[in-house]
Amino acid sequence: MDLIGQASAILFQPQHLILLVGSVLAGIVIGAAPGLTSTMAIGLLIPLTFTFSKVTAFVLLLGIYCGAIYGGSITAILMNVPGTPTAAVTAIDGHPMTMKGEGGIALGVATMSSTIGGLLSCILLIFLSLKLAKLATMFAGPEYFSLGLFATAVVFSLSGKSVVKGLIAACFGLLLSTIGIDLVAMRPRFTFGIQEIMIGIPPVPAIIGLFCVAEAFRMAEETEIVVKVQKGVSGLLVAYRLLPKLWLTILKSSIIGSIIGTLPATGALMASFMAYGEAKRTTKHPEQFGKGAVEGVCASESANNAVTGGALIPLLTLGIPGDTNTLMLMGAMLIHGLIPGPTLFREETTLIYVIFGTMILSNLFILPLGLSLAKHIAKVALIKKKYLMPAVSVLAITGASIGYGHVYYFWISIIFGFLGYFCQKGGFSVLAVAMTLILGPIMEKNLRAALMLPGAGPMMFLTRPISLMFLVLAVLAVIFGLRREAQIRAIEAKGTASVSTNEEISRP
């Protein structure tokens, strides 16, 4: 109770409350702007936290995170332009509702579903992370290495269409993570005599380069979408009358979102799709889905906001980021000298409770901010790419690097921006590169620590139960990934076959 009191006292300080409201609002605005994702929102605002205390930094970043995940739905519903990729599922039914004159109701339902979904995931976050953190204290070198291997296997197997490409991306990240001074032997590795490379690849500029700079480059090649603002959006507050009809969908979708959030390499888009599919499967009127079904909007939005709490569980307890957003948050933690994992629960207990409290308050603030400002926020979709791209590009390059005070970090942001751009073009998982860049040092350190134990050998990874469990799960993830790839190939082959058959038929 003491910790809850301390955390509340910190959070309810006027400056933190104002900052939280501002950050949730900023998150909603950035999320609503097409091309700017929640990952970019966090990445671009990390530099702002350089001079902040740990608590203030996480109040800002978590507010942005929750706000941005919701913000994408506004332009998806009103303009059929999903602000974030996750909002694409919301647009399937949200925009048809707008076209029928029910845009206000769709927005209201999306706002309420997002709030409830986010709050339910906070409950899971609080209970599960406290339990899991205790369990994680039993982990030693072999368990951490196997856990890292499991997370890597899940990421390279599930985050793209091809397992081989995923494996290449993961290995690339792991190799890059070995550059610099070896912290055990204190000798340089793969530095080629260049002094700057001695410090290795700094993770924060690299990750911001991979996601934000690369995204700015991608923005440059996309064609400008002409959007129209819908006038006369009303009925936002009427949406609460639909709650009794929608509560079961919200509950189910929130559970789906929270669980999906805890798994590495999944994220909000997959959660939205799964919750949407489940809502369509169990509804009495599946034919209305895609034509403006309010349950579709509700399922998608509660699931994608429920991911926020779930995704923080592996990050906080095990130090394993589950998706791109938590990867950015992990970068921010590293900047502030925090090492996520069981140590965080031992040494930074107040901060942990502040994080829980911030997540709850952020989701609560979405409700009034969304209901009152959504119509106005939608106008950010009108900002032209020719103004947005240069600003985002320069902010992404400089923001991540300026705090370090050396031009080497600018180079890292830019080179990783190119890398992220070409990886995405070639179908290689950018998430796999980024995640293994972070996981690489953890895995290597624990592998070497494990092998230093008395009587150690490769078999020890198979004889320790928790380590064995993670290795079995890793193998299962790869098998699942290979089967999924085979299915995708079969579907694509069928598609190609039917296209070629159609071409043959249409040929005179």
Q: Among 18, 225, 391, 486, indicate the residue that binds other proteins (CB under 8 A).
A: 391
How far is Cα 41 from Cα 214, in angstroms, rounded to an integer? 14
CB 481 within 8 A of CB 166: yes
Among 107, 167, 474, 478, binds other proteins (CB under 8 A): 167
Task: Please provide the distance, in angstroms rounded to a whole number, between the alpha carbons at the two ends of the chain.
Answer: 79
- Nearer to other proteins by C-beta: 113 or 152? 152
Q: Do residues 147 and 439 touch, judged by C-beta distance below 8 A?
A: no
What the block records as the tokens of 227 is 């959007």
Distance separating alpha carbons of residues 377 and 79, to the nearest angstrom: 12
Quote the least distance from Cβ 227 to other proteins, whole Å.
18
Residue with tokens 């006292």, as numbered in its chain: 9
The CB-of-215 to other proteins minimum distance in angstroms stands at 13
For other proteins, the closer of residues 173 and 342 by Cβ is 173
Q: Which of 21, 373, 414, 460 binds other proteins (CB under 8 A)?
A: 414
CB of 314 to other proteins, least distance (A): 23
* Nearest-angstrom CA–CA distance, 438 and 429: 15
Is the CB of 69 or the CB of 435 nearer to other proteins? Answer: 435
279 neighbors 253 (Cβ within 8 angstroms)? yes
Total site size for other proteins, rule CB under 8 A: 57
382 part of the interface to other proteins, by CB under 8 A: no
| Interface residue with other proteins, options 397, 432, 438, 442 (CB under 8 A) | 397
Contacts of 366 (CB under 8 A, 6+ apart): 24, 28, 66, 67, 70, 111, 114, 115, 118, 305
Tell me if residue 182 falls in helix, strand or coil: strand
Structure tokens at 138: 């039993």
- 398, 466, 468, 476: which one contacts other proteins (CB under 8 A)? 398
Distances (CA, A) of 439 to 58, 135, 147: 22, 20, 10
- Closer by beta carbon to other proteins, 348 or else 485: 485
Write out the binding residues for other proteins, residues 275-304 only, by CB under 8 A.
none
The DSSP secondary-structure symbol of 195 reads S
In the range 37-96, which residues lie near other proteins by CB under 8 A?
A: 47-48, 50-51
**CA 146 to CA 143: how far, in whole Å?**
5
Q: Which of 4, 238, 248, 394 lies at the binding interface for other proteins (CB under 8 A)?
A: 394
Contact between 140 and other proteins by CB under 8 A: the answer reads no
Q: Which is nearer to other proteins, 251 or 383 (CB)?
A: 383
Q: What is the largest CA-CA distance in the chain?
A: 81
- Closest to other proteins by CB, 175 or 248: 175
Cβ 182 vs Cβ 189: under 8 Å: yes
For residues 270 and 128, give the distance between their C-alpha atoms in angstroms, rounded to a whole number. Answer: 21
Cα 297 from Cα 303, distance rounded (Å):
10
Please say which residue, 15 or 223, places its beta carbon nearer to other proteins. 223
Distance in Å, CB of 366 to other proteins, minimum: 27
CB of 184 to other proteins, least distance (A): 6
Q: CB of residue 414 vs other proteins: minimum separation in angstroms?
A: 5
Least distance in Å: CB of 221 to other proteins? Answer: 5
User: With respect to other proteins, which residue has the nearer C-beta, 211 or 217?
Assistant: 217
Which one of 92, 109, 338, 423 is in contact with other proteins (CB under 8 A)?
423
Window 447-476: residues binding other proteins (CB under 8 A):
447-448, 451-452, 456
Query: Amino acid letter at 447?
Result: L
> Which of 2, 221, 503, 504: binder of other proteins (CB under 8 A)?
221
Helix then strand then coil, % of the chain, to nearest 5:
80, 0, 20
Mark the segment that binds other proteins (CB under 8 A) among 38-46, 166-174, 251-259, 348-356. 166-174
Distance from C-alpha of 452 to C-alpha of 443, rounded to nearest angstrom: 14
Amino acid code (one letter) for 469: M
Binding mask 195-214 for other proteins (x = CB under 8 A): ------------------x-
Between CA 423 and CA 318 the distance in angstroms is: 28
Asked if residue 480 binds other proteins (CB under 8 A), the reply is no
| Choice from 123, 132, 182, 484 touching other proteins (CB under 8 A) | 182
From the CB of 394, what's the least distance to other proteins, in Å?
5
Q: What DSSP letter does each residue of 8-21 carry, written as one string?
A: HHHHTSHHHHHHHH
The answer to whether 448 and 185 have CB atoms below 8 angstroms apart is no
Residues that bind other proteins (CB under 8 A): 47-48, 50-51, 164-165, 167-168, 171-172, 174-175, 178, 182, 184-185, 187, 189-190, 213, 217, 220-221, 223, 385-387, 389-391, 393-395, 397-398, 402-403, 405, 407, 410-411, 414, 417-418, 422-423, 425-428, 443-444, 447-448, 451-452, 456
